Amino acid sequence: MSKTSTFGFTNSADSSNKVTMKSLGLTSNYSLTTDNADVATLNNKTAPVDQEEIISFRSRDIGSVNSTLNIQYPSKVKSGVEYSLKIEDTLSTTDSSDADFRVDEPIICTVTFRHPKSGNINGTQIATVFVRAISALMKADGSWRFDDLMRSAERPVED
């Protein structure tokens, strides 16, 4: 007998809006500044030293995966893994009419996944959840919800 894993949602139609991947060149354009059992940190060599971009990949074992979901049929597998990507960018603002004006501000994005160490979970399923998370950050016209979210307007907007 073969096992089948499925998600319960049915709202999964593709949108015509597409997010375009950036060719970062993680192995050619970044210096590896930290490399240990839990973290790898990369520093962007294409950015000036006073306007850094740092990307960190982390992974760690966790004793259990806590969730607010009401799981009816829990797995016997309790231990899990947590892994994340953090990107820290420096936004530099200057004024063409004032040569002495410059303000640098950090913008940080963290994407974290947690799940049991189960053979039922694979990369395709993780990608499905990630695409849904990105989709929740977008409006129906393909624009981002960030202008609303940064003003604490968390409620969804019209599809």
Distance of alpha carbon 100 from its chain centroid, rounded? 36
Per the listing, tokens 């590896």 go with: 32
Q: What is the pLDDT of residue 158?
A: 67
Q: What is the pLDDT of residue 159?
A: 57
Q: What is the pLDDT of residue 79?
A: 94
Residues of the chain below pLDDT 50: none
Domains of the chain: 30-120 (2.40.160.220), 122-159 (no CATH)
Best CA proximity match to 18, nearest among 148, 155, 149, 142: 142
Cα separation, 23 vs 60, in Å, equals 27
Q: What is the pLDDT of residue 122?
A: 95
Distance of alpha carbon 31 from its chain centroid, rounded? 21
The tens digit of pLDDT for each residue in 69-93 reads 998 998 898 899 999 999 999 999 9
Q: What is the pLDDT of residue 55?
A: 97
